Amino acid sequence: MAATNKLACYSDPADHYSHRVRLVLAEKGVSAEIIDVQAGRCPPKLAEANPYGGVPTLVDRDLALYESTVVMEYLDERYPHPPLLPVYPVDRAKSRLLMHRIQRDWVKLVDQILDSRTKEADRVVARKELRESLTGVSALFADKPFFLSDEMSLVDCCLLPILWRLPRLGIELPRPAKPLLDYMERMFAREAFQASLSTVERDMR
């Protein structure tokens, strides 16, 4: 059963940061009004809620939150079941560090590839680096059903939106990345993941 709430989420249907938040909402079974915002546009109500006019932006009654990680952690605390961060402080810190590393090591490259201002030569280098990095860590996906965890977590919610976009990024993972490919197949088939996808994202694959 979806939780009763008055949530509104301003979201770019093509943006992987927005996808993170939509995935958390789906995993929690929380219904929210998804307000599509095209890149570069800022509706007046979004400008009122977020001084930077960016997405994702979550509005919960009188509270407005932005920056995807802040929004994700708020949702995990606001709707605690199922939990998407571990209970114990040490494990929670490790999850947050993994999220930070995903941002620094992989998302940085994704954003560089997707940025229309990036020179093609730099885009080629970023694609190669991302492909090799993902392939190099693929063995980490062999032992656990989720990324270094027995349970779905915010770490997966940060990672899956960029893995879904690999075809759009021009990246095809090689056979040695089979543990990662298997993880992707399992996770993409989840009901919550499918529910999180916008029409634009469905067309990416």
Percent of the chain with pLDDT over 90: 94
Shared domain for 69 and 35, answered yes or no, is yes
For residue 126, is pLDDT > 50? yes
- Kindly state whether residues 185 and 101 are assigned to the same domain: yes
Assess if residue 200 is contained within a domain.
no
Q: Give the per-residue pLDDT at 4.
A: 44
Domains held by the chain: number: 2
Within this chain, do residues 108 and 165 fall inside the same structural domain, yes or no?
Answer: yes
Is residue 112's pLDDT more than 90? Answer: yes
Query: pLDDT per residue over 15-49, tens digit each?
Result: 999 999 999 999 999 999 999 998 878 899 999 99
Question: Of 58, 78, 98, which marks where a domain is finished?
Answer: 78
Based on the fold, state whether residues 182 and 104 are members of the same structural domain: yes
Q: How confident is the model at residue 6 (pLDDT cuts 50, 70, 90)?
A: confident
Which among 100, 85, 191, 181 is positioned nearest to 142, based on CA atoms? Answer: 181
Whether 173 is in a domain gets the answer yes
Of the candidates 84, 88, 86, 97, the one whose C-alpha atom is nearest the C-alpha of residue 152 is 84
**3-state secondary structure at position 7:** strand
**Does residue 3 carry a pLDDT above 70?**
no
Please classify residue 159 by burial: count the beta carbons closer than 10 Å to its beta carbon, then call 0-12 exposed, 13-18 middle and 19+ buried.
buried
43-52 contacts at long range (C-beta below 8 A, 24 or more positions apart): 43/10, 46/10, 49/10, 50/10
Instruction: With 0.85 as the threshold, say if the pTM is over it.
Output: yes
At 38 the pLDDT is 85
Tell me what the mean pLDDT of segment 162-173 comes to.
97
Q: 3-class DSSP state for residue 143?
A: coil
Q: What's the Cα-to-Cα distance from 85 to each of 28, 35, 78, 175, rounded to whole Å?
A: 12, 26, 12, 31
Looking at 78, 102, 121, the residue that finishes a domain is 78
* Res. 2: pLDDT tops 90: no
CA distance 166 to 158: 14
Residue 53: which domain range? 7-78
Q: Are residues 106 and 177 in the same domain?
A: yes
